[in-house]
Structures are given as C-alpha cells and as structure tokens.
Chain A
C-alpha cells in the first residue's frame, strides 16, 4: 500500500517563475492537507482540501498561492511568480476521514528559489 507520494522531491525556480507541487494521497484517503516548513521551524498549515473542494485555506497567502484537488488526479499546490521567501519544504498529508488527528505525510518537496 503506497504511502503519500509527492513530486518533485526537489524543485528549483528563478524569481518570477511558477512552481507546481504534486501530491497523491494514500489509497482510500480523500482528505489532503498542505504544510510549509522552514529550517529549524515547525510545520505551518496552509490549506485543507477534499475532493473538488477547498475546506480551509486560512493558512495560505491570498496572493500567488492556490491549491486544488480534482476528482481525478493528484492535489496540486501552485505558486505563481515565486520569490526567495517561498523557499521552503512543502509537505502534503492525507487522512481517511475528517477527524484530522492522524495524518500520513509525504516526503515533501524542497523548493529553492534563486
């Protein structure tokens, strides 16, 4: 049973480019969460999605960031016009239900903005 799959593992972008981060949840999981982590810091909540719906995006910047979880295919976190401050590790997690107490995390995407 494959775990949460994230790709790419590492992503390098120049300032002003777009970054697309992909996340395939565990089989049978319909709830996806995105978190951002800076070095030596905790995980900061960004957005919580169910299939085709954004449930809570209170942690996501209003500009340049968007997320989707279509009926078919992976969840996508999209960052437009990246800036150096966007450099971080972005983790995706999934859960089978909406209780949220046990999340299964992917290995993350390390975004580096030059």
Chain B
C-alpha cells in the first residue's frame, strides 16, 4: 500500500514564505503531485515532480528527493487567497491512481 504524511495545519503571515512537507511510503513510486483545495471545492493541480530537485511555477515551487521519500511545497509571497488545504499525492504503486495525503490546512494571517 501507499501512505503519505503531512502536517495537519500551518499558519503564516501575509507576505511570508511557508514550506509544507510530505513524506511517503509507496511501492512502484512514479512521482509526487501537489493539489490545492479551497473550502471543500474542486482540488486543483499545482505541480508535479518525477525527478529529484526543485520545480518552480511562479510563487509556488515543489521539491522531491526520491532517496529520502520526501517532498515539499514552497509558497512564497503569501497572500490571503492562499488559505486553503494542500495535498500531496503519489502516483504509482502498481496502478495509475493517485494516493493522496491527509492534507495540510494553511491559514494566512494579516
């Protein structure tokens, strides 16, 4: 089976930088994705890492270390609208399905 662990909650101030960590245990791992979900709405894709290293997309960056079974999502120049739940998800494990972590609730304060 597969399991992914994330902190349940992170709080940061507007304009700051925050890092959300994700550790995973999977078999047949392909890559790690990140999704954002506002108030139970549709999860939206943020980034995907198949190789080790950092992927940058605007204010968001994602990192993967396959040897450490670890990744993180980095959010810079935080805005109030970034308050949401963030999920890491692993692909692989003998199928094409994504297995999601339990999610991190990010609260951005003034």
Contacts and interface: CB of A to CB of B under 8 A. Distances in A.
Contacts of B45: 102-104
Nearest to A46: B97
Interface in B28-66: 30-31, 33, 35, 40-45, 48, 50
A33 B98 CA distance: 9
Q: A42, A48, A103: which has the most chain B beta carbons within 10 Å? A: A42
Interface stretch (A14-22, A51-59, A68-76, A79-87): A51-59
Nearest to A41: B102
Given A99-B91, A100-B91, A101-B91, A56 B97 contact: yes
B103 interface: yes
A58 B95 contact: yes
Contacts of A55: 95-96
Nearest to A4: B42
A48 B95 CA distance: 9
B50 A101 contact: yes
A108 interface: yes
Contacts of A3: 42
Contacts of B41: 107-108
Contacts of A45: 97-100
A106 interface: yes
B33 A48 contact: no
Given A4-B42, A42-B102, A106-B42, 20 more contacts: A39-B40, A41-B103, A42-B100, A48-B96, A55-B95, A89-B40, A100-B30, A100-B95, A101-B48, A101-B50, A101-B91, A101-B98, A102-B33, A102-B45, A102-B48, A103-B43, A103-B98, A105-B43, A107-B41, A108-B40
Interface of A: 3-4, 31, 33, 35, 37, 39, 41-45, 48, 55-56, 58-59, 89, 91, 93, 98-108
Closest 9 CB pairs of A and B: A100-B96, A42-B100, A105-B42, A43-B100, A42-B102, A45-B97, A101-B48, A56-B95, A105-B43
